[in-house]
Amino acid sequence: MSRTPPPHHARYSTGHVPLNRALSKMGLFSRKEAEEYIFSGRIKVAGKVCRDPFFPVSPEKDLFAFNDTPLFYAAKRTVLLHKPRGVVTTRSDEKGRKNVFDLHPDAFRGLHAVGRLDRASSGLLLLTNDTRFSSDLTDPQNAIPRRYVVTVTGRIEEKHLEQLKNGLLDKGEFLKVSDVMLRKASGRESHLLVTLTEGKNREIRRLFKTLGRDVTRLKRIAFGKLELGTLEAGAFRVLSETEVREIGL
């Protein structure tokens, strides 16, 4: 479990970062895994055991070891997972629920989720060990489109589509879609294709809630130029360098 950094680590000199962050950025461990190994005395910095996850280190200059084996930067790797419903995207869940990393523990070691999909949602989820790439993908200024197929209760009309495009307030936060298309509507439910360019928490569910509608199905089918296609739920594939380069940044 993480703890508050001591006062003498409150500021880091240029080129230095906390040990747990350095190990995570190397793409070998998640932040949580790194902290566990640090606390258990399995990590050495410059030949000495370090049990402080906030110890200042220089990723470019310091030598690190895990169980006395030297650590080096992992090759950058990004996978596209078809996240099934019923699993969370965070490694450390307070309720101990199954997470996406439990699906393929060995293949997903050292990776972290890009953005999030809530437990009840499914579809395209990217996992990577490239923290800069991850930050670029989730930066609102880059406005990378994410497309979702959505089913909601009740009939959605043209006026509702305009409201979604113009934006709505939910608990003081402004929410809006980049685009929305009504595919089918009846008195019982409506089916839509929704595009977002920001990753605000549960944005689609909150938007429809303000319209008095509940989302009963939410599936992400595209992220930038990447598409889920026919990949089965729970399956994944490793992205090629070309796919990573052309995702839309």
The residue written with tokens 């402080």 in the block is: 52
CA–CA distance, 34 with 112 (Å, rounded to integer): 13
CB 4 within 8 A of CB 42: no
CA–CA distance, 176 with 196 (Å, rounded to integer): 8
CA–CA distance, 215 with 152 (Å, rounded to integer): 4
In the residue annotation, 118 being an active-site residue is answered as yes
Q: Is 181 left (phi over 0), alpha (psi -120 to 50) or beta?
A: beta
Distances (CA, A) of 2 to 5, 43, 96, 245: 9, 16, 17, 34
Say whether 230 sits in a helix, a strand or coil.
coil
CB 123 within 8 A of CB 17: no
Q: How many residues does the chain have?
A: 249
CA–CA distance, 249 with 243 (Å, rounded to integer): 11
Which is the catalytic residue, given 68, 93, 106, 118? 118
Amino acid code (one letter) for 19: L
Q: Tell me the catalytic residues.
A: 118
